[in-house]
Amino acid sequence: MASASSSSARHLFDDSKKRLCARVGVNVNNLGSVARQVVRGSKTNEIMHQTLKNFTQVDVVSDYSNQNLQKMTLILQHVGYQYDVMQDSVNHLDYLKEQVTAMER
């Protein structure tokens, strides 16, 4: 009887050992899958971080461009004022030329 329960215990131990090895094998395969997902997830995080960084840079550049456009609009307005003043001066020169010519006669 002792040998029967000894062989039964041995068979039960071997069976448990096989099941444990099978589960460890499945877990190792799952671990590889989880590791790949973590790597993909970390790459996704890196991509998202880089995208956010690029978007922020584009936003800053857009703000600077808008400010520069406003400055150029102001400069254009001032150049327009200066052109008008110069045009008035040219018109006055023509008037002065006519007066000088009239005085010389």
Q: Please give the chain's pLDDT, 105 residues, in tens.
A: 456 667 777 777 777 777 766 666 656 566 566 656 666 666 777 777 788 888 888 888 888 999 999 999 999 999 999 999 999 999 998 888 889 988 887
Which residue, chain included where needed, has tokens 């099941």?
19
Has this prediction a pTM greater than 0.85? Answer: no
User: Can you tell me the distance from the alpha carbon of 103 to that of 105, in angstroms, rounded to the nearest whole number?
Assistant: 6
Task: Give 23-47 pLDDT, tens digit per residue.
Answer: 666 565 665 666 566 666 667 777 7
**Closest by Cα among 39, 59, 58 to 47:** 39
